[in-house]
Amino acid sequence: MFDNRSIRSLLATPSVACLRVRCFFTSKSVTQVSVYAPRRQLQDANLILILGVIVCILYLAGGLHAQPIPDLLGQARKQFGPEAEATVRDWETLIRSGRDQSIDEQLKQANRFFNERVLWVSDREAWNTEDYWATPLETMGKAIGDCEDFTIAKYATLLLMGVDPASLRLIYVKAKRGGLTQAHMVLAWYATPTTTPLILDNMESSILSANERGDLFPVFSFNANALWVGNKTAPSSANPVDRLSRWRNVLSRMRAEGFALGA
């Protein structure tokens, strides 16, 4: 029990000097003690609480779409050696740091990582076959690949950073350069389904708007959940996994490696 003297002594200490205390005394004892913070302190506390909630919401929103990073280190070391393991470790660091970045920075980092570390070669040279879609582990493991391999690796990386899956599409295009027309694939990011996308391309170090890429002519685009024909904003009724056998195959192999894709 506190008597009147001990309560007055307590109120004089620095640890409670910031509190205003209202006491009701009788001749023998304290009958009621009401301790409360000044109005300004309550306002400050409420503001801090609100700001904290906002920060938490923004943090959670940024990681809302982020998928778990698959454990590829051991697989890289076993299948491709220590250099591949080091590349995968750098890739994991890139993803973790990218989760706190703006979408512009996420796109730049993913595009730069693979454009600088992977050498373009044909599937015939890389895999001794005419057309092979490699997983990101295979692309990082060999440090070589063609346009599909660059695009798939960037797509998976951005998903792991937390980019909205609905905003990303792999686009099969006809690329016209130097008087030649060739089949090509790029990755596109859409701020909204109807806006002009930004293009990530292994043949171009800069990320440009599709309006600035007059050399590219879209044929169809897709992601793990939908398929689009040409420049149409509405998706086709076709299921991309069912219609595109190579896409189905590479997604299956990626899931076996530990990726959580297709949802």
C-alpha dist (Å) from residue 80 to 97, 105, 200, 203, 249: 25, 30, 27, 26, 21
**Average pLDDT of each block of 10 consecutive residues along the chain (263 residues)?**
46 42 40 50 59 44 70 97 98 97 98 98 96 98 98 98 97 94 97 96 97 97 95 91 95 95 57
Percentage of the chain lying above the pLDDT 90 cut:
70
Condensed to tens digits (0 to 9), the pLDDT of residues 113-137 reads 999 999 999 999 999 999 999 999 9
What domains does the chain contain, in order, with CATH numbers?
4-61 (no CATH), 69-257 (3.10.620.30)
Encode pLDDT of 83-118 as tens digits.
Answer: 999 999 999 999 999 999 999 999 999 999 999 999
> Cα–Cα distance between 38 and 63 in angstroms, integer?
38
pLDDT tens digit sequence for 5-19:
444 444 444 443 433
| 103-112 pLDDT tens trace | 999 999 999 9
Pair of tokens at residue 233 = 């904003």
Residue 24 · residue 31 · CB < 8 Å: yes
Q: What are the tokens at 21?
A: 């205390």
CA dihedral angle for residue 86, residue 87, residue 88, residue 93, rounded to 10 degrees? 90
User: What pTM was estimated for this model as a whole?
Assistant: 0.76
